[in-house]
Amino acid sequence: MLSVRNLSVYYGEARALHAVDLDIEANEVVSVVGPNGAGKTTLVNAIAGVLRDREGTIELDGADLLRPASHEVCEHGIALVPEGRRIFSGMSVADNLALGSYRRAARERRDERLARVHALFPVLRERTNQPAGTLSGGEQQMLAVGRALMSDPRVLLLDEPSLGLAPVVVDALFDAIQEINESGVAVLLVEQDVTRALALSSRGYLLSDGRILLRGSARELLVDPEVQRVCLGV
């Protein structure tokens, strides 16, 4: 489905990713784990087309995603939930969600997508006319995920979804991610909570210093000494 080959990304003359290879199959949850500064955010932003100074190949079912602009990448069915949520705080919850459905295919199914988001996150229906900036942190993260789902994605990229959230909120959010995946959306999960991320995933990658150090089943990575050393300091 999604295939990344030999992907390198640059910030000016600095190389942030070094020839990364990664695959996601249909209906799969794949995690990318690693320490701060490993390049995880760079990876998802490069796949989403947000970062343009890159080389290698990114393909979705054979369609080239390296050359198109980020809005064209979205048209292919890639949606990004960025680190820090990046909602429009002065706009209402409803307007934030509407912004997610600008894809032509998504516009045709806007009401259906909105009903799906409200079923997944009922609090967003209750807060529909409320300014997004007045939501709690957990509610803002739900809004960011809901906005991405409004684009009717085939692949959902999640960058540190648990960041700054209370454990009970994280539990609810990860339950929602599992439900999203079970509905047929492939998920690439970037997450510092290694145990929780791999528990949700079928496979995973260990990224450090912009390089893939390990890849394998989630069960294998959970007990791998290198993952424990790099991510947990054990």
Grade residue 115 by pLDDT with cuts at 50, 70 and 90. very high
Q: How confident is the model at residue 137 (pLDDT cuts 50, 70, 90)?
A: very high
Instruction: For residue 220, give the amino acid letter.
Output: E
Please choose, from the candidates 33, 18, 6, the residue with its C-alpha nearest in 3D space to the C-alpha of residue 214.
Answer: 33
Burial 18-48 (b: 16+ CB within 10 A, else e): eebebebeeebbbbbbbbeebbbbbbbbbbb
- What is the arithmetic mean of pLDDT over 11-16? 90
| pLDDT of residue 233 exceeding 70 | no
pLDDT at 106: 64
Residue count (the chain): 234
Q: pLDDT tens digits, residue range 24-82?
A: 999 999 999 998 889 999 999 999 999 888 899 999 998 888 887 777 888 888 999 99
The model carries a pTM of 0.93
d(CA 224, CA 184): 29
